[in-house]
Each structure stands twice: as C-alpha cells, then as structure tokens.
Structure 1
Amino acid sequence: MIERFLRGLEISPDRDAVRVGSDLVTYRQAHETALLWAGSLMADGSHGSVGVLAGKSRAAYVGLLAVLYAGGTVVPLQPSFPAKLTRRMMKMAGVDKLIADDRGLAVLPEILDEEMTVRVLDTDGLADNFPTIPVTSDSALSAPVQVAADGPAYILFTSGSTGVPKGVPISHRGFATYFGELDRRCDFGSNDVFSQTFDLNFDLGIHDVFAAWGAGATLQEVPPSAYRDLPAYVAEHGITVWNSTPSGIWMTREMEGLEKGALNGLRWSFFGGEALRCQDVEDWLVAAPGSKLDNIYGPTEFSIGICWHRWLGEESKKRGVNGTVPIGKVHAGHDFRLVTEQGEQSSVEGELWVTGPQISTGYLDPAENEGRFVDLDGRRWYRTGDRVRATPDGDLSYIGRLDSQVKVHAWRIELAEVDHVVSECDGVRDAVTVPKPAEHGTELIVFYTGDEVPESTLANGVRAVLPYTVLPRRYVHLDEFPLNSNRKVDRLALRKRAEELRG
C-alpha cells in the first residue's frame, strides 16, 4: 500500500495529496508527518492494530498513512457511528492505540468502558483528557517499515452503521492485486482530481485514496452539501475522477444537476456498492459525455472490487438484468462458480462463489467463517450471497441478494424484478420493494420516488410479472430514499417504515 503513496510522492512532492475544505496537505507534508507519527507509535512499542477515529480530516489521511508506515494494521473508525458499535469493533480488532481528530476525541468518552485501556497519539495537543502517546521529533522514521505482502493492511467491518459487525482483515497483497488491475485499465495522471464521497471505513473510500495517490493526483473531499449544486462543486475543485454509490446519481438528478454537459470535466466515473441502473448511467453520461464509466462490484472480503464492467451503451443494456448494468468479468487470476440452491454448479445462474489472490483469510471471529468461506478443490472460496447470471463468455449480471428473494403465498418473488417494473412506470424515478410481516404471512410494500402516481397505474405495471394474489399491498411515495452512512439506500429503514404502516 505504501508503495503507491511513495510513487505519488516521487511524481508530485509539492502537489496536494488531499484537500478537505480549506485544509490542504501536500505529498511532502503528509510523508514527513506520517514518518513522525509512525516513529512515535513505534517508540511507544505500538504494533498491530491502530484505530483511526476520525472523519474526513488531515488526521484521518495522515493517520492511516502513519499506521502503514509503522508496519501496523489500520482500523478506520467513524465518529458518527453509535458508540456501542464502535466499542465492539475496537475490541474485536484489538485496538488499544488511536489516532483521532477533534470529532473522534469528542465521542471517545462515550465509546470507552471500564474494561478498555486506550492511548491516543498526541498529534496536536488536544488529547489531554486521555492517556497519550507523545509525538517527538527524535522518534521520526527515516523511511517506512517494510512489511510482508500477506500481512494485514486494514481491518474493515462489513455491517455498516447497524447490525453485528464482521471484521475483515485485508492483506497488502490483496490491495496490490486490486490496484494493479485498476492501473492496467485506467489512465490516471498527476493532473487528475479524485472525488472522495465515501468515508474511510468503507472499502470504496480506500479505492479513492490509493487510486489517487498511486498517480500523484489530488484527493478532494466531497461533503453531502455539494449535491445541492454538484456541477458547480466539480468545476470549482477541478474534479476529473468521480466515484460514488448509484444513489449519488439520483441525488444529483433531484437537484437538477444532470443537464447536458453539466459535468463535462469528468474523465472517469465509477459506481459501486449498489446495483447500477442503465437509465441512471444514461442520465449521468448526458451530463458527463466525456467520461468513461465503470461499474465496480465486490464484497469487502475481496479487497474493494472483484468484477468490473465498462459501459458499452446498448450492449450493456442487453447484457444486464432487470434494467441494471452488468457487473462484468472477475479479475485476472481469479475463478468463479455459480452454485444453485441444490448445491450444484451451473453455467448459467446461481450464487456467485469466487476465489483468488484478493480473498481475505477470513473474519476476525473464525466462527463467522462458516457458511461464507468454503474450502473446495484445494482452494478457499467466498460465497457472496449474490445471485448472478452468466453469459457464455463469463460476463456476469447481478440479479439480487439471496435474501432479497421472498415467498408470498408460496410464490417465490424476486424483489429486484418488482423494483424494475415499478421504476419503468411513467413518472417513477426509483423504486424499492420490501417485505412486511402480516397476519397471513408476508406482503410487499413498494416505496418509490419521482412523481406521485395513482396506485392503480403502478399495480397494472406489476401485474405483468406477479399474480394477483401476491401484488404489493401498498405503494408509498417518498420525496427521497433514506441513505445509510455509506450513502446506499437504507433498506432496513424502509422495512421499519413498512412495518409501521397501518391498513
């Protein structure tokens, strides 16, 4: 990982490595500060996992670099997450050392309990209320520590801001393989400016950081407020490489930011984290006609992404399923198989299993590996839990999560198919279908955005794919969908809202 930053340092020593608001950090400044902080961590005897409890700030970006320079494992932690969840993550990852910004320090008293002893690197004299690790110039490293390729670079957690977190150690080798693939297909340069819409506890946020740093380019923080006028923000900051969840498209569209040529400065656009709709891509590219566009697919357990598909216009639309963009082919050096519900291998459709050098060694809690990591034919496979369809040449299309297929009156229903049919109705922009427990079993509730459309119109559309007895019970119009901390549609929040509906 550090080799990518060092390459950027050599190319662009005095260029901004990261910009957060008015705070600008050059490659040289980040390097020198990281050497100082890394040496201080090592002088204290700090090895292993070091938490970085910070939002998008100088402390976050230099902090993660410092931990890597010291040969440690970065554990990115979000100050906005519930204290109980962060406490659990820290205990699972064995974090007893922290680098924190002011937001992190503010919430730290809520996170710590009587069982935890945590020391904070005293980066700017603001950690007086906690046991500290002093920062001393005498301890500064002359060069980063060399690490084993199979050693863990990061520990990321898969459950977002809710649920029980699963800790995933990601190796230096896994990251290097991913970024090698990215470098082969993209022409990033030192004049590029990369968006940073994701937080650093999300693997696509790591993609932005090291994709930019490997090219000697600049990483530009994008706050949520930027969506009020995204074209103006992109132009003002010279952003040329965009990366967000597909939700970023409809947020921009809601603010009328997808006018023709409005994002003309973009050279590259990446989307991941959710299924990407073909219509959303077409709308985005009206605004960004000079941009190449990749759909990235991959679970955290596979070092950011394991498949990619470059938009090919009508050809992409033909290969997709339910109006979504294909996820493409698995990376070179990796294998996949499709497994049916009966456990048989299929050449056409099934649950996606993947193996190869990007795979994680497993979860921090080995008990959680069961049912996800499978040893077969002398190799370890990861079961993604995603249903996909394959073309004869190995191009994959995402159908949906295994757990998004529900039974209503014994009829098996693919929720993504209902989403697609509703979103095709005139006036509807996006749709999300969720199951709701009912006295008679399960019923469907559809939430949608766009214009308010008569329920009879929507029901007529859905009758094309569902029998009358299992039609959705309600169609609920929303101005916008709730988003979770990673700016994905918060389906859990929609399910809770569905359960609160009466009648």
Structure 2
Amino acid sequence: MSTTKITESLYSIFRRGLARNPGGRAFTVGGDSLTYAELDAAARRLAGGLTGNTAGNTAGHTAVGVLAPRGRTAYTGILAGLYAGLTVVPLNPAFPPARNLAMARAAGVSVLVADGPAAELGIPAAGEGPALDEPVPVRAGDVAYVLFTSGSTGTPKGVPITHGNLASYFAWAARRFGFTQDDVFSQTFDLTFDCAMFDLFCAWGAGAQVRDVPPHAYRDLPGYLAAHGVTVWFSTPSAIGAVRRAGGLTPGSMPGLRWSLFAGEALKCADAEEWQAAAPAATLENLYGPTELTITITAHRWTPGSPGLGVNGLAPIGAVNDGHDHLLLDEDGRPAAEEGELWITGPQLTPGYLDPKHDHGRFVERDGRVYYNTGDRARRTGGGELVYLGRADSQVQVRGWRVETAEIDHAVRGLDGVEDAVTIGAGNGDTTELVVFYTGVQKSPAEFARGLRETLPDGIVPRHYRHFPELPMNGNRKTDRARLRDLAEAVLRGEA
C-alpha cells in the first residue's frame, strides 16, 4: 500500500458534485432517482454499516462486492464502498453465479451489496449503520475498484485500479471535456465495464445527472434523448448500427447532444460520419484504452479530415493522454517508427493483475520503466496520432466485450464429448461474431449455448459452430488459422 497522499480520491469527485448541486439529480433509472444529497446520505449510512461507523474500518472488510444492475442499489453500493475505504468489486447479475463467485473470491470480497437475496454466492449481505460522518481517508496506491478481463486459461483476470490511477484520469477528462451540471449523461455500459465509471464520475464531478438507457430506447433513440435532455452520449460503436437499423440516424435527428463518445471496439469512419451528421452540434471523439490503462488512454477528436487519417476504414484512436509515453515495437521487439505493437506507460498504468502470474508479457519493464503491452497493433499518422490496426494476438472485441478467444476455446473443450476447439472472431456487418470450429461429438448450437452459459457471460457465448473430423493444419503443422478465418467469414455470409 502506498503512503503517498492524494488530494482527490475517487469519492471526492462525487463530493465535488455534491457541493455544486446538492439538490440536483445524481442519477435516474426508469422512474427512480436520487439527488446528490440523498445519494450521499444513503451511501454514508451503508458505509457506516460496512465500517462499524469508525474511520479505522473495524468491521474487518477489505473488499465489497456490488451485485446489482444499474440503479439505486448499485450506485449506493459503489459510493458506500468508496466512502468506507474499501475496494469495490462490481459483479454482474447476468453472469453465471460461478463466475461471479470466482471473481469475488479472487478480489477478497467478504461482504456483498445486492438486489434481492445474495445467498447464491454464500457471502454475507451488507447492512446499514449509523451514518459515517466523513469518508475514510485513502492514499494513492489504495485500490478503488477491481474489474475483470477475459483470461486465457478460462479464469477472469482481475485488474486493481488505484485512486492514484483514477485521479490522473479524471483530471485529464475534466480538462478535455468541460462537463457542467447542466449535462445529462447516458449510461449504456454494464458496471463491470470500466467505461461505466467514466459515466458516473465524469457526471458526478460536474454535478450532472446520469440517466440509464434501457434496451427499448434504441427503437427511437432520438426521441429518447430529446425527451430526457441527454447531452453526453457514450457507448460502443456497435450502438451506431442499432440506431441505424431502427431508422434513427437521419441528419439532424439528435440536435441536443453536446458530446458523442465511443470506445470499446474499433470505430468505422463511415459510422462516425453518419452519427456526426445526426448529431451535428456534438463534438465526436473516438476513445481507446484497455482496463489495464484505466478507462481510456488515447483520444481522437473527429474532424472533416479524420477519414483521411484512418486505415482500412477505421477511425484514428488519437494521441496518448497527457503525461504518458508509448512505444511501437516490431516483431523483434525493436522500436518502430510507423507501425507496431503498442506499449504505453504513465500514471494511468495499473499496478498489475491480482494474480502476478498473469503479468508476464503484459506488464513489462523496459529502459527502467514498466509498460503495458496492449497486444494491439497501431500505426502512427503524419500528425503523430495513432490508428488501430487490429489485435496482435487472438483477442477480439465482441459487442463491447474484450474477449480472448482462448477463453472460449477452454470453455468449449470443457463440454462433454468435445475434443478440441478454435474460436475465430470475424466481421459481420457492424459487429464481430465468434465462430467455433471443433472436433469430437457433434452438437447443436442450443446444446453449446446451454453448456457455455454455465461458465461464460451471455454476451460472449458464440452463436456459430462448425464440426470438423480434425482441425486443418498448415505447412508447419500448426492449426491453420488463416483458413479458419476464411471459413468463419464464409459462415457469416451464409456460404458454408
């Protein structure tokens, strides 16, 4: 634990908004909302129960799990955990219980804030106590929350994000965006995605409102945004296709937006242009960043000249955030002037994974500094900005999920009768789809889905499966992934 004090903990960002706008709405989910003052009071009562109402946290907890969808319980639980000086671990009610329990155990969760009974995880539920007068002091190296990314062995990798990491990030965001208490932020991300924390704490730092976007809103997103005064939109680029298919991307259809932000997967230039035409008053930015670099680490502000900077139809991801350095490395690990694997270092770099054995090859010391090897290939434009070229390994983005296909392979191989499996991510219109090639006993897609939902979140369960007597090999007697990629694309076109 670091002994370096910081002037802005994550919870102090909320308290800045509380001071600015105590009677303003902190969030709205459906028909439910709380003001800043009401949310603060509720969080202090719950924090009192978590700590035994002492700044020394005599209750003995170090990490609190939050198992609830976006809403009053989850937001109060996150803030209360931070007030109590604990590490917050967001869990997802849509995940299989076994996955949530594995994440909770890995992060040391000993108490749970949950909607409804939490008995399925066997973790005691949090209760309220006398309201905590002041939040527990924290230091730069203290972990604010832990999020989990897909793991190559089938076990999710825990990423601890410190108050120091977040202080650097939200200071950058405040300088770049200039949000105000009059803004209304969309929230489209699950709370297990780090971009959800952008929505909450950028809004709360400004004294603004966070408004949940339910699935039915996409049937008429322009109408929804106008009805609720949404000014800041943030989602994965896949949302653009959903709005288009519903007929919502007509020119000028979203005049109230001030900011249009996208992250989580590659943004197509054509999509950005169409969205910008629909929201002409908004500034559009393409943001990029793995969880290990604290929410987003590069940003590109869209201009009429942006398509000319793109590669293969993909928008630039921009320059790295202030105070950070990066390298592009070729296949031999040597610095490359224009194109290579992207490594980044700086104050947003997290301390490493919860399990240090996962650090190998990702958190790498070079020239006396620790870099994060993103595993992404990038190209440097003439103006010094970066363009994303794709994964250097088998990791892909699927509907906003950062997925290591090895995790899917592992889960498929665990099903009865399956001998071997290779998962390929291939483009399918506006999204990436997973296609599984496997050997062993032939199964129906429904059988795969039932089995895989016991270990995988529904969002990354593949929909396409093809049986082989044996997997194809290339001349080096390795699995012929190039051939499988071609076959996967043919499957998605309906040709195989």
TM class by smaller structure: 0.7 to 0.9
The answer to whether the 8 Å contact 2:436/2:462 transfers is no
Letter in 2 for 1:332: D
- Tell me, in whole angstroms, the C-alpha distance in 2 between the residues paired with 1:9 and 1:96: 29
SS, match of residue 346 in structure 1: coil
Match of 2:144 in 1: 153
Whether 1:70 and 2:61 are equivalent positions in the alignment is: no
Q: 1:486 to 1:275 in 2, by over 3 A?
A: farther
Q: 1:180 to 1:493 in 2, by over 3 A?
A: same
SS, match of residue 252 in structure 2: coil
Whether 1:38 and 2:47 are equivalent positions in the alignment is: yes
Letter in 1 for 2:39: A
User: Aligned to 1:13, which of 19, 22, 46?
Assistant: 22
C-alpha offsets along residues 22-59 of structure 1, whole Å, 9 cap, x if unaligned? Answer: 11110000111111111111006143111011101201
Q: 1:495 to 1:379 in 2, by over 3 A?
A: farther
Match of 1:129 in 2: none
C-alpha offsets along residues 41-85 of structure 1, whole Å, 9 cap, x if unaligned? Answer: 100614311101110120100110000001111000001101111
- Alignment: residue pair count: 415
- Tell me, in whole angstroms, the C-alpha distance in 2 between the residues paired with 1:385 and 1:78: 26
- Tell me, in whole angstroms, the C-alpha distance in 1 between the residues paired with 2:33 and 2:237: 28
C-alpha offsets along residues 242-261 of structure 1, whole Å, 9 cap, x if unaligned? Answer: 00000111001010011121
Q: 1:430 to 1:201 in 2, by over 3 A?
A: closer
User: Aligned to 1:493, which of 459, 462, 484?
Assistant: 462
- Tell me, in whole angstroms, the C-alpha distance in 2 between the residues paired with 1:438 and 1:57: 40
Whether 1:193 and 2:202 are equivalent positions in the alignment is: no
Match of 1:382 in 2: 372
Letter in 1 for 2:213: V
Counterpart mapping for 1:299-314 below 5 A: 299-313=290-304
1:233 is displaced (CA, Å) by: 0.9
Q: 1:393 to 1:495 in 2, by over 3 A?
A: farther
- Tell me, in whole angstroms, the C-alpha distance in 1 between the residues paired with 2:212 and 2:196: 11
Letter in 1 for 2:308: K
Q: 1:197 to 1:430 in 2, by over 3 A?
A: closer
User: Aligned to 2:269, which of 267, 278, 281?
Assistant: 278
The answer to whether the 8 Å contact 1:57/1:101 transfers is no
Is there any run of 5+ residues in structure 1 with no aligned partner, and where?
Answer: 113-117, 123-134, 407-414, 424-428, 440-483
- Tell me, in whole angstroms, the C-alpha distance in 2 between the residues paired with 1:164 and 1:405: 15
Match of 1:89 in 2: 103
Q: 1:391 to 1:95 in 2, by over 3 A?
A: same
The answer to whether the 8 Å contact 2:238/2:430 transfers is no
Match of 2:124 in 1: 119
User: Aligned to 2:113, which of 99, 112, 116?
Assistant: 99
Counterpart mapping for 1:315-464 below 5 A: 315-403=305-393, 430=430, 432=432, 437=437
C-alpha offsets along residues 174-218 of structure 1, whole Å, 9 cap, x if unaligned? Answer: 111111111111121111100000111110001000010010000
Letter in 1 for 2:51: M
1:485 is displaced (CA, Å) by: 6.7
Counterpart mapping for 1:226-245 below 5 A: 226-245=217-236
C-alpha offsets along residues 85-141 of structure 1, whole Å, 9 cap, x if unaligned? Answer: 111101100111011113xx3xx34434xxxxx21013xxxxxxxxxxxx23xx311
Q: 1:282 to 1:110 in 2, by over 3 A?
A: same
C-alpha offsets along residues 282-313 of structure 1, whole Å, 9 cap, x if unaligned? Answer: 11112111000111100000110110000012
1:486 is displaced (CA, Å) by: 10
Letter in 1 for 2:77: G
TM-score norm. by structure 2 comes to 0.79
- Tell me, in whole angstroms, the C-alpha distance in 2 between the residues paired with 1:84 and 1:437: 26
- Tell me, in whole angstroms, the C-alpha distance in 2 between the residues paired with 1:199 and 1:435: 24
Q: 1:237 to 1:46 in 2, by over 3 A?
A: farther
Letter in 1 for 2:83: Y
Q: 1:392 to 1:231 in 2, by over 3 A?
A: closer
1:159 is displaced (CA, Å) by: 2.1
1:432 is displaced (CA, Å) by: 4.5
1:235 is displaced (CA, Å) by: 1.0
Q: 1:340 to 1:284 in 2, by over 3 A?
A: same
The answer to whether the 8 Å contact 1:17/1:26 transfers is yes
Which of structure 1's runs of 4+ aligned residues deviate more than 4 A? 431-439, 484-487, 497-503
- Tell me, in whole angstroms, the C-alpha distance in 2 between the residues paired with 1:372 and 1:405: 13
- Tell me, in whole angstroms, the C-alpha distance in 2 between the residues paired with 1:405 and 1:199: 20
Letter in 2 for 1:235: A
Whether 1:205 and 2:214 are equivalent positions in the alignment is: no
Letter in 1 for 2:349: I
- Tell me, in whole angstroms, the C-alpha distance in 1 between the residues paired with 2:356 and 2:283: 40
Whether 1:47 and 2:16 are equivalent positions in the alignment is: no
Whether 1:164 and 2:174 are equivalent positions in the alignment is: no
- Tell me, in whole angstroms, the C-alpha distance in 1 between the residues paired with 2:458 and 2:317: 20
Letter in 2 for 1:229: D
1:330 is displaced (CA, Å) by: 0.5
Match of 2:474 in 1: none
Whether 1:265 and 2:256 are equivalent positions in the alignment is: yes
Match of 2:443 in 1: none
Letter in 2 for 1:119: P
- Tell me, in whole angstroms, the C-alpha distance in 2 between the residues paired with 1:57 and 1:36: 17
Is there any run of 5+ residues in structure 2 with no aligned partner, and where?
Answer: 1-9, 53-57, 397-423, 440-455, 467-486
C-alpha offsets along residues 322-360 of structure 1, whole Å, 9 cap, x if unaligned? Answer: 111100000111110011111111011111000001101
Q: 1:435 to 1:341 in 2, by over 3 A?
A: farther
Identical residues among aligned pairs (%) = 49
